[in-house]
Chains A and B, each alone.
Chain A
């Protein structure tokens, strides 16, 4: 009987190399430790120096954050802006993706570059440019404009930087569409509109959802561009937190941040479900 051999890792099983595993683990700790500490200290019962010394468990700061009217207002503003700009971004993104996918036209590479530009240029440049644009044409939101119309400028800025991202995601999905399906549907008697509704749209759905979630996250995440386009009455959550952090660090911010992280986690979970849903159908 032949003797049993010890199974050594293959030469390219890098994931089984201890040194590389250590790098991965350390990188993960580096990425997560600050956030975990932040969440832990949101329950710290300490008024001053809230993030330094642990003084016992409390949920007081969640209550406090919930009762902080300006923080809640900023939070509501952020979510409103994110929802509205996401809707517009998905629509504009889908339209742009179809233009790039379907037609051949003069200067197409130029248009393609234009669409990609808001993605690649530094945020600060876009923020400055949009702010200057509104001021140049005197497009200030008059004080006392009813909510949510007072957020118009910010929403426009957000759509401008997030719809190209949505367009890229949707376009990638479109490219995996087999045009023979379209021809098959037409061969079976479908009109252009029916083809779009019955064949293209169902194929596109995961792309629309993924693009929408990306736009939503980008909008919720944005600080720099909002910072330049927001006025004193139109503060978003990141801008509010920024101004609070500059003066003092309180567990209240930790509590509010924890809530936002939770929202992000839920959204990511949804995104993943749809992502795998999309893959199953391929």
Chain B
């Protein structure tokens, strides 16, 4: 790497467009939205910056607090499900024969390349009360019912009189399925990368010292890939928290998350300052999560570096 002063003109020729674009179309919008968040609506399209904190104060209203808690809960539980499914999936890919690996990875990544709206719409199609998923469950119900009849338990109607379709849409279950569906590929990749970096001799050493499979997983494999798991959790959780499309389509307006309410402030309620305050709050939450991770990473490296000198 060379010092920027050595060839200042070339440096500026590269730096200016790059920084300029971000300053104009990224930083400036963030500044304006901050100004809006401390302003008041004057007319239909005009917002005046009055340095009020009223918009932020409204974030403590019970329904907004409930909204935030619901969003955190939905994103949190979906992240946990993604991790629980993603880890074994990554483990299978990482230990597969080298010839297979790229193809198994492709299977997991391919949905990511498919349009988000199309994927959500596809899920919407099969999750309805008359959709394919309920068809499948009904078929299973009929088989189970038939089996019960066969063994002479038919008159008790243990499974109910007839199949009751499970309602997913407009319920939190539908939103969680959607969130997991959309973000699972993101969860797998960092865990896979961490597993791929791990030398197999560590696992062998653990086994050699008398630890069983499960103990080796708990004491060696999981701790040594924890960095990947944390990265996976963060890059899954943050977009989930800001999800708009999934709750809008699968929640049918009955399971709102933060983004849906923000959108309403801009498109329906026309309360831009409050919408701006909410978006900035979401942004702060994101920053806090990232900062916590950075601090944790720094402490880890300092802990190791402490006795070096």
Contacts and interface: CB of A to CB of B under 8 A. Distances in A.
Interface stretch (A60-68, A200-208, A253-261): A253-261
Contacts of A235: none
A146 interface: no
B193 to A, nearest CB: 12
Given A125-B279, A245-B121, A92 B17 contact: yes
Nearest to B45: A135
Nearest to A238: B117
A27 B184 contact: yes
A11 B203 contact: yes
Contact of A261 (B91, B114, B283): B114
A32 B262 contact: no
Interface string A39-60: 0010000000101100000000
A156 B24 CA distance: 11
Given A15-B95, A35-B111, A238-B115, A163 B32 contact: no
Nearest to A41: B125
Interface residue SS majority, chain B: helix
Contacts of A23: 85, 88-89, 92
A232 interface: no
B115 A264 contact: yes
B173 to A, nearest CB: 14
B241 interface: yes
Nearest to A268: B113
Q: Which among A24, A99, A102, A228 has the greatest number of chain B C-beta atoms within 10 A? A: A24
A128 B181 contact: no
Contact of A120 (B113, B124, B181, B238): B238
A181 interface: no
Contacts, number: 240
A167 to B, nearest CB: 8
A52 B114 CA distance: 23
A223 B32 contact: no
A105 B11 contact: yes
Interface residues of B, number: 85
Interface of B: 1-4, 11, 14-15, 17-19, 21-22, 25-30, 32-33, 36, 45, 85, 88-89, 91-97, 100, 104, 106-108, 110-111, 113-119, 121-126, 128, 130-132, 181, 184-185, 200, 203-204, 207, 213, 238-239, 241-242, 244-245, 249, 258-259, 262-263, 266, 272, 275-276, 279-280, 282-283, 286, 290
Interface of A: 11-15, 20-21, 23-24, 27-28, 30-35, 37-38, 41, 49, 51-52, 92, 95-96, 98-99, 101-105, 111, 114-115, 117-118, 120-126, 128-133, 135-136, 156-157, 159-160, 163, 217, 220-221, 223-224, 227-228, 237-238, 241-242, 245, 249, 253-254, 257, 260-261, 264, 267-268, 272
Given A11-B204, A31-B184, A133-B28, 4 more contacts: A114-B19, A120-B286, A126-B26, A132-B36
7 contacts: A15-B91, A15-B93, A33-B132, A35-B111, A105-B4, A122-B238, A124-B263
